[in-house]
Chains A and B, each alone.
Chain A
Amino acid sequence: MMNSAPSPVLQLRLPLWRSRMMLAFVFAGFMTLVGRAVFLQAWDTDFLQQKGKSRTVRDIEIPAYRGKITDRNGEILASSTPVRSIWAIPDDVKASRDQLRDLARALDLPVDELDKKLGDTDREFVYLKRQLPPEEAEKVAELNLPGVFQQREFRRYYPAGEVAAHVLGFTGMDENGQEGIELAYQQSLAGKNGSRRVVKDRRGNIVEDVAGVQAPREGKDLALSIDSKIQYLAYSQLKQAVELHKAKAGGIVILDVKTGEVLALANLPTFNPNNRNNLTGQQLRNRVLTDSFEPGSVMKPFTISLALDEGKITADSTFQTAPGRYKIGTATISDSHAMGILNVSQIIEKSSNIGTAQIALKLQREDMWNMFNRSGFGTAPQVQFPGAVGGRVRPAKSWRPIEQATMGYGYGLSVSLLQLARGYTIFARDGDIIPVTFQKAEGPAVGTQIIAPQVAHMMRGMLELAAGPHGTAPRAQVMGYRVAGKTGTAHKQEGNGYSHDKYRASFVGFAPVSNPRLVVAVMIDEPSDGRYYGGDVSGPVFSSVMGAALRALGVAPDAPMKPIVLPSAAEQVRENT
Chain B
Amino acid sequence: MTRLNFVLLAAVLLCALATVTSTHRARLLFADLENEQSRQKQIEVEWRQLQLEQSTWAKHALVEGIAERQLGMHAPDPRRLVFVSPVTSAPVAAAGAPASASASANGAPAVSGPASSGAPAVAQ
Chain B residue at minimal CB-CB distance from A554: B120
In the assembled complex, the Cα of A232 lies from the Cα of B65 at a distance in Å of: 13
Find the B residue at minimum CB distance from A547.
Answer: B78
Chain B residue contacts of A160, Cβ below 8 A? 55, 59
Q: State A76–B59 Cα separation when bound (angstroms).
A: 10
Contact between A514 and B115, CB atoms less than 8 A apart = yes
Is there contact, CB below 8 Å, between B119 and A81? no
Number of interface residues of A (CB under 8 A): 40
Q: Which of B1-9, B10-18, B66-74, B93-101 faces chain A? A: B93-101
Contact with B96, one of A76, A77, A134, A561 (Cβ below 8 angstroms)? A561
Contact with A along B103-122 (1 / 0, CB 8 A): 00000001011111111110
Residues of A229-271 whose CB lies within 8 A of B? 229, 232, 236
- B20, CB-defined interface residue at 8 Å: no
Indicate which residue in B48, B60, B112, B114 contacts A480 across the interface (CB closer than 8 Å).
B112
Q: Are A561 and B112 in contact (CB under 8 A)?
A: yes
Across the interface, name the chain B residue whose C-beta is closest to A209.
B30
Interface residue A208 (Cβ < 8 Å from any Cβ of B): yes
Complex Cα–Cα for A205 and B27 (A) = 10
Is the Cβ of B52 less than 8 Å from the Cβ of A557? no
CB–CB A208/B59 < 8 A:
no
| Docked-complex contact A561 and B110, CB < 8 angstroms | yes
Please name all residues of chain B whose beta carbon is closer than 8 Å to the beta carbon of A512 when the two chains form the complex: 115
Q: Is the CB of B52 within 8 A of A79?
A: yes
CB < 8 Å neighbour of B61 from A157, A163, A205, A559: A163
CB atoms of B121 and A551 under 8 A apart: yes
A336 to chain B, nearest CB (A): 33
> By the criterion CB–CB under 8 Å, are A480 and B96 in contact?
yes
Number of interface residues of B (CB under 8 A): 39
> Chain A contacts of B43 at CB under 8 A?
none
Contact among B34, B61, B75 with A232 in the assembled complex (CB-CB below 8 Å): B61
Of B49, B116, B117, the contact of A81 (CB 8 Å cutoff): B49
Within 8 A of B (CB), among A457-486: 479-480
- CB neighbours of A134 from chain B (8 A): 45
**Interface flag for A159 (CB, 8 Å):** yes
CA distance A236 to B51 in the complex (A): 24
Q: For residue A475, give the distance in angstroms from its CB to the closest CB of chain B.
A: 16
Asked if A324 is at the interface (CB within 8 A of a chain B CB), the reply is no
Complex Cα distance, B54 from A134, in Å, reads: 20
Cα distance A558–B114 in the bound complex, in angstroms: 8
| Assembled-state Cα–Cα distance A150/B118 (Å) | 55
Q: Which residues of A contact B81 (CB under 8 A)?
A: 480, 551, 557, 561
* Residue in B31, B48, B99, B119 whose CB lies within 8 Å of A554: B119
Contact with B along A545-568 (1 / 0, CB 8 A): 001100101111111111000000
Residues 515-558 of A at the B interface (beta carbon under 8 Å): 515, 547-548, 551, 553-558
CB distance from B43 to the nearest CB of A (A): 13
A576 interfacial by beta-carbon distance below 8 Å: no
Q: A79-B48, A163-B61, A232-B61 are in contact. Are A556 and B110 (CB under 8 A)?
A: no
Max count, chain B CB within 10 A of own CB: residue among A65, A80, A514, A554:
A554
Q: Which B residues lie within 8 Å of A555 (CB)?
A: 118
Say yes or no: is A161 at the interface (Cβ < 8 Å to chain B): yes
* Cβ-closest chain A residue relative to B27: A207
Does any Cβ of B come within 8 Å of A328's Cβ?
A: no
Contacts of A65 in B (CB 8 A): 48
Query: Are B52 and A479 touching (Cβ within 8 A)?
Result: no
* Residue pair A554, B59 in contact (C-beta under 8 Å): no
Report how far A161 CA is from B57 CA in the complex, Å. Answer: 12
Is B56 interfacial (CB 8 A cutoff)?
A: yes
Considering the chains assembled together, what is the distance between the CA atoms of A163 and B59 in angstroms?
A: 10
B118 contacts A76, C-beta separation under 8 Å: no
A159-B59, A228-B60, A479-B78 known; A562 vs B99 contact (CB < 8 Å): yes
A75 at interface (Cβ–Cβ under 8 A)? yes
Report how far A512 CA is from B118 CA in the complex, Å: 12
In the assembled complex, A82 has its CB within 8 A of some CB on chain B? yes
Asked whether any CB of chain B lies closer than 8 Å to the CB of A396, the reply is: no
Task: Give the residues from 495 to 529 in chain A that come closer than 8 angstroms, CB to CB, to chain B.
Answer: 512, 514-515
Q: Are A206 and B119 in contact (CB under 8 A)?
A: no
In the complex the two chains form, is B118's CB within 8 Å of A232's CB?
Answer: no
Q: A206–B52 contact, CB under 8 A?
A: no
Contact A558 B115 (CB under 8 A): yes
Are A206 and B78 CB-contacts (below 8 A) given A79-B51, A556-B83, A557-B112? Answer: no
Q: When the two chains form their complex, are residues A75 and B58 in contact, meaning their CB atoms are under 8 A apart?
A: yes
Residues of A within 8 A of B56 (CB): 159
In the docked arrangement, what's the CA distance between A547 and B81, Å? Answer: 12
Shortest distance between the CB of A232 and any CB in chain B (Å): 4
Give bound CA distance, A560 to B111, whole Å.
9
Chain B residues packing against A (C-beta within 8 Å): 26-27, 30-31, 34, 45, 48-49, 51-52, 54-56, 58-61, 64, 75, 78-79, 81, 83, 85, 95-96, 99-100, 110, 112-121
18 A–B contacts from the bound complex (CB under 8 Å): A80-B48, A81-B48, A160-B55, A163-B61, A205-B34, A206-B30, A206-B34, A228-B60, A229-B60, A480-B79, A512-B115, A554-B120, A556-B85, A556-B114, A556-B118, A557-B78, A557-B81, A560-B99
A-B pairs, 10 with minimum CB distance: A159-B55, A561-B99, A232-B60, A561-B96, A558-B115, A76-B55, A560-B95, A554-B120, A561-B79, A159-B56
Report A's interface with B, CB cutoff 8 A: 65, 75-77, 79-82, 134, 157, 159-161, 163, 205-208, 228-229, 232, 236, 479-480, 512, 514-515, 547-548, 551, 553-562
